[in-house]
Structure formats: C-alpha cells, structure tokens
Chain A
Amino acid sequence: MASNTYEHSVQLDTSKCTGCTTCLRRCPTEAIRIWDGHAHINEARCIDCGECIRTCSNNAKKAVVGKLDDMERFRYKIALPAPSLYGQFDNLDDVDYVLDGLLKIGFDDVFEVSKAAELVSAYTRQYLKTEGIKLPVISSACPVVVRLIALRFPSLNDNVMHMLPPMEVAAKLARQKAKEQHPELADDEIGVCFISPCPAKSSYVKNGFADYVSGVDVVISMSDVYFALISKMSRDGEVVSMTESGMVGIGWATSGGEATALFNDEYLAADGIENVINVLEQIENGNIPPVKFIELDACTAGCVGGVLTVQNPYIAKTRLQSLRRYLPVSKNFLAPDEQQYIPELYLFNDLPEYEPMTVLSHNMAESMRMMADIQRMRNDLPGIDCGACGAPSCRALAEDIVKGKARITDCKILEK
C-alpha cells in the first residue's frame, strides 16, 4: 500500500492549533511543519506514534478512533480488552471485575487480548528455534515500530517476526468461538471491538499491511471505555470468573513483558520512541550485544504509556504488578506437542514495502545536486533551530527550500 493512501489516526483540529512549535520539535520523523499559522502533518512520514497528541498543550491533535456506538450495527458484540486496560483502575484486585463490567456496558462476550498474547508467546518461543531465521528477531507487536522499520530501516525488514500481534490473534479466535457457540449468527452479525491504548492500533486495523486485512471491526479508545465502565463496574462481591490469562499475558502491557515471556535472557527491550529509533540505528550499525529477540515499544513504559490511556504509565504498571502477583505463569493450556509447530492462523506473509520517506529525488544526480544546495544553504542559515520558520530545524528548512516548499525569507532570524 502506498504511503499517500495510508489512513492515519492522528489528526489536527486547525481551529484549536495556535501554531506554537511544541509538536514540531517533538515529532520523531519530522513530519510536522507550521505553515499559515497552524500545524500540517505530512502523512507519508507520520508513523502514528502519538507524540504530538501527548505534547500539544491546546488539545489540537487528536486520535481518530471509533466510538462504542459503532458496535450497534452488530447483533453479537465481542470486546477485546488490551491488558493495559486492567492497569487503569484503582483498588482493583481481580481482572474479572473489568470483564464483567464490559458485559454490563453491552458486550455479549469478552475475549482477552492477554489470552491471545500467551499463545503468541508460546509460538514465539517456537519461532526462535526455526532454522535460518535472521537474528535478532524483532517483535511485530507494536504497529508504530513495524511502520517505522518499513519507512526508515529497510535493511531490518527481514528481522521482523512474521507473527501476528495478539490483537489480531484474539480477533480471529474470538470470532471462531462465537461461531461455534452461536452457529445461527452470520459473519457480518459478529462485531469484534478492540479497546485500544493507542491510535496506531486503529491505523493498523484501517490499513492492514501488504496483503493482510485486519480481523478487528472497530477500535475504540481505552479512555472512552474507562469512563463507561467506572459507573457500571463493581469492585467487590461475586462475579463470574472469566479471565483466562496469567502473568505472561498481562505482562505484555508493559515494556519487557513480551521479551521476558520467552524465558530466555538473550533479549533487548526498549521503550519510548527516541530509544526505539536509537536502538534500530545501533542494530543497523551491528553495534548491539548478540541477542535473539528485540522488543520495541513506541510508548514509554510500553502499551500502558499509550496516549488513549487514562492513568500515568508507571502507576498503571505498578497496579498490573499487583494484579499479576498470584496468577499462574500462563494459562495457554497448549499441550507440549501443540507447541512444536506454529499454526497458519498466527502468521502473516509480507511486510509493507520499503518506502524511503526522506529521499530527495528518484534521480540520483538530481538528489546529489539538491543535497549540495542544502549544504550551501545551511551555511547561510543561523543554525539555532528556533522553529520560527515552521520547520523543526535549520537543516529541515534548507531541505524544504530546495524541495520548493519554503523560501529563505521564511527564516525570521535572517529577516531581522
């Protein structure tokens, strides 16, 4: 799928944007410019990491995700809670209260993403034993990371694990279960709704990648569900026990959870988009210890740090620790012989194609001329990266000028 047709989940409300330069400097892919008094997002460069939503002090950047009402069109509604949801509630000592609450707000069934995560963990252990795979294997669970690698680190494409993320596995298994229990339901009467900590999951569902089409129908914000739940959810008393995940599955909500579930200390786990980019650079340079597995989470502290969550990521992390304390390690219930091979359902074929996002021109000679111009222009610019011109740095302005998207007179310092 070409980048210009990629449907994003981060959008700008121009009426709220004051044209301040906060997001400009924080965008890790330099996808933002301030032109005509407000921000513009370059969709080809945006990786939906949500940094701009996090930093905007005017709430002008927002995540475009579905609403609970979007599920009304389905006869049978299934909720897929991401494990980070469990870390949002104060004084919660059992996951079952959350699952019960989801039924109370109108879902017919709940399928925990953490349950699917435990299956993915079991098969990842198997995947790492596959002959001929390229090491280190990079997790494909964070959609921001998968898109970032496709756009900026193409030489690492072969390292990305061809295993579907727990959300997709949960969607497939939940649908199978619904059809077994309710054979009277037609396919389009079953709706699968992912309760997401981040906008990137929504983009993943909307766009799929290469030839893969998502099994999720609607993605809704964790904070919307949180507010719907708190009035309906009980915190004590008897609830039907539904939870089918253990420590491993819930651990996926925080950085290192996926990696430690491999029961093997040859891993690296990094979180926060700047750290993720830095680690990818280091892998490309061949400058990391000889590890087998790399877990990268775009958000600080892992999925609990997503912009659609309610609670501070570290507080959520601590709550999850106490929720996990007395749980079995895993409840995947796979017999040893079922763990010897990876079922088709868990795998995908092709990654998105490499789309060099920074390339100046498709003609090498032309690119070289342009870069020579950029270098000359940088000597003329003040080099203080003030952002007043609307570009994140003097170098970025020089590039914009050479590409014909800005003028040297945009520099407010030279104007004086």
Chain B
Amino acid sequence: MSDPLVFHFDVDGENFTSAGQASTQVKKNLRQLGLSPDIIRRVSIAMYEGEINMVIHADGGTADVMVTEEYVEIVLKDHGPGIPNVEQAMQEGFSTATDSIRSLGFGAGMGLPNMKRYTDSMKIDTVVGVGTTITMRVNL
C-alpha cells in the first residue's frame, strides 16, 4: 500500500482567464497514473465545475486532490459568501451568477448538479459569510 498522493492548487480568484487550469493539470497527472479514461473524465469535469464556481462566487480558494489506490478525493475550499440554501443550489438550472458571467457561457446552473452526478459522493460544508468546503470522491 503506497502513501496517498496529494496535489495542491491555489485557485486564483482575480484572474478569470486562468480558471480551469488546476483541473487540466489534475487530468494530466491522472493520465500519468494510468487511471481509466472514464474515471479521469469524471474527476476532471467535477473538479472543473468546482473550480469555476470558486472563481465566479468566492474569489478563488484552494483545491486539494488526494489519490489513493481506492479513490480520488477532491477538496475545494473557499472563503466566499457561503451557500444560503444548499437544496436550492443543487437544483439544475438554479444559478446566482451575474449577467456578465453568463455572457461568457457560465452560470447555467449545472455546476453543483454535475459535480454530484460525476462523483460517487459529495459533501458540502458551508457557512454563510464564512465560506464553503466541498469534498467529492470518485471510487476507483
């Protein structure tokens, strides 16, 4: 049994053009580890959505990806506004993104639902005014 691998990323909230870079790097790493294309795709979509959310809503944050021989775990942590109503936020099509974000093609209200759909488990810890931590797992 080998030690888990951890990849840490700072997701820059100031620089929208770099959003998505951490998930692209994770995708490369997972390919090198020889994971199946399906797992790689699920992890990278879930992480991409989460990363974009952090940039749009929370001014960035951190992403930690842990790989063990059993699962890939993604922990996204921000100090943004928090999610007042998680149940509502989980509904497809619900979005609080601004018009300017929508004009870029984001804000379709599919971020959180996709994260749940592509992972085996997802946990949202959120406190309004303090921040949000999302923990997702994809089993290998």
Contact = CB atoms under 8 A, between A and B. Distances in A.
A239 interface: no
B33 to A, nearest CB: 4
Contact of B41 (A155, A287, A365, A369): A155
Given A286-B114, A369-B2, A372-B3, A354 B37 contact: yes
Contacts of A109: none
Contacts of B102: none
Interface stretch (A45-53, A83-91, A93-101, A356-364): A356-364
Contacts of A365: 1-2, 69
Nearest to B41: A155
Interface string A142-174: 000000000010110000000000000000000
A271 B35 CA distance: 29
Looking at chain B's contact residues, the main secondary structure is helix
Contacts, number: 67
B44 interface: yes
Given A369-B2, A372-B5, A364 B34 contact: yes
Nearest to A285: B48
A286 B34 contact: no
A359 B69 contact: no
A361 B31 CA distance: 11
Contact of B45 (A286, A358, A362): A286
Nearest to B106: A287
Interface string A345-388: 00000000010101111101101110110010000000000000
B32 interface: yes
A155 B69 contact: no
B96 interface: no
B44 A285 contact: yes
Nearest to A364: B69
Interface residues of B, number: 29
A210 to B, nearest CB: 17
A362 B1 CA distance: 16
Interface string B41-82: 100110010000000000000000001010000000000000
A411 to B, nearest CB: 21
Given A358-B28, A358-B31, A360-B32, A368 B67 contact: yes
A284 interface: yes
A369 B68 CA distance: 11
A285 B20 contact: yes
A412 B123 CA distance: 47
A360 B69 contact: no
A284 B33 contact: no
Given A287-B48, A368-B69, A372-B3, A281 B24 contact: yes
B33 A368 contact: yes
A328 interface: no
Nearest to A362: B34
Contacts of A286: 45, 48, 114
Nearest to B68: A368
A154 B36 CA distance: 9
Contacts of A287: 20, 48, 105
B23 interface: yes
Given A155-B38, A286-B45, A367 B33 contact: yes
Contacts of B140: 364
A289 interface: yes
B111 to A, nearest CB: 11
B27 interface: yes
B69 A284 contact: no
Contacts of B3: 368, 372
A155 B48 contact: no
Contact of B37 (A155, A281, A358, A372): A155
Nearest to B52: A287
Nearest to A359: B34
A289 B41 contact: no
Interface string A259-297: 000000000000000000000010011110100000000
B45 A368 contact: no
A367 B38 contact: no
A289 B105 CA distance: 8
A356 B31 contact: yes
Given A287-B48, A372-B3, A364 B41 contact: no
25 contacts: A152-B31, A284-B44, A284-B45, A286-B45, A286-B48, A287-B20, A354-B37, A358-B28, A358-B32, A359-B34, A360-B33, A360-B34, A361-B34, A364-B33, A364-B34, A364-B35, A364-B69, A364-B140, A367-B32, A367-B33, A368-B3, A368-B4, A369-B2, A371-B29, A371-B32
Interface of B: 1-5, 7, 20, 23-24, 27-29, 31-35, 37-38, 40-41, 44-45, 48, 67, 69, 105, 114, 140
Given A359-B33, A368-B3, 14 more contacts: A154-B37, A155-B41, A281-B27, A286-B45, A287-B20, A356-B31, A359-B32, A360-B34, A364-B35, A364-B69, A365-B1, A368-B33, A372-B5, A399-B32
